[in-house]
Amino acid sequence: MKIVLLEGLGVSDEVMERHARRLEAMGHTFTAFEKNTDPNVQADRCRDADVVMLANMPLALSVLEAAGSLKLIDVAFTGVDHIPVAEAKRRGIGVSNASGYATQAVAELCIGFMIQLLRNVEETQRRCRNGGTKDGLIGNLLHGKTVGIVGAGAIGKRVAELCRAFGCSVIAFSRSAVSHSAIDRQVSLEELLREADIVSLHCPLTEDTRGMIGEAQLGLMKRSAVLINTARGAVTDTKALARALNEGLIAGAACDVFETEPPIAADHPLLHCPNTIVTPHIAFASAESMEQRAEIVFENLYSWLDGKQVNAV
Which of 65, 122, 261, 295 is an active site residue?
A: 261
Hey, is 146 helix, strand or coil?
Answer: strand
DSSP string, 6-57: -S--SS-HHHHHHHHHHHHHTT-EEEE------HHHHHHHHTT-SEEEESSS
Which of 19, 45, 158, 232 is an active site residue?
A: 232
Phi (first) and psi of residue 189, to 5 degrees = -60, -40
Distance CA 43, CA 245 (A): 42
CA dihedral 204, 207, 213, 219 (to 10 degrees): -150
DSSP assignment letter at 213: B
- Give me the helices (H) in the chain, please: 13-25, 39-46, 61-66, 85-90, 103-118, 121-129, 154-165, 189-195, 215-220, 238-246, 287-305
The strand pairing partners of 172, in sequence order, are 149, 186
Q: Do residues 108 and 159 touch, judged by C-beta distance below 8 A?
A: no
CA dihedral 163, 166, 169, 172 (to 10 degrees): 0
**Residue 232 annotated to the active site:** yes
Count Cα neighbours of 71 within 13 Å in the Cβ-side half-sphere: 11
Which of 281, 291, 295, 299 is an active site residue?
A: 281
Give the 3-state secondary structure of 137-148: CCCCCCCCCEEE
By annotation, the residues acting in catalysis are: 232, 261, 281
